[in-house]
Amino acid sequence: MLEIKTGVPIPKGRKFGRDRKYPFADMNVGDCFDMPVTSDNPYRTQTNILSSLRHQKLTGLVPIANSFTTRFIKGEGVIRTWRTK
């Protein structure tokens, strides 16, 4: 028969995956961040940002209700992402 124990603390688990590249979970409404465009196609960078956002929402790192928008700022060579809701 196995002994039932109470009050035994759970040890800290290992961390899987990698650190988040984009700070969606830390943003408040009105905050934004800039991601430099590193390829000839700025929309590839924009797609990567939105794919990461979708993944973070599906895994619960970012609440589903939060909304974001992105724009290519041609003069600065960045994709700027704002939290809108």
Is the whole-model pTM more than 0.85? no
Residue 11 has pLDDT above 90, yes or no: no
More confident residue, 23 or 10: 23
Q: Torsions phi, psi of 24, nearest 5?
A: -55, -45
Query: What residues does each domain of the chain span?
Result: 33-83
Q: What confidence score (pLDDT) does residue 15 get?
A: 61
Identify the H or E element spanning 32.
strand 32-36
Q: What is the pLDDT of residues 28-83, one digit of tens each?
A: 999 999 999 988 888 899 999 999 999 999 988 899 999 999 999 999 999 999 99
Q: What confidence score (pLDDT) does residue 16 get?
A: 61
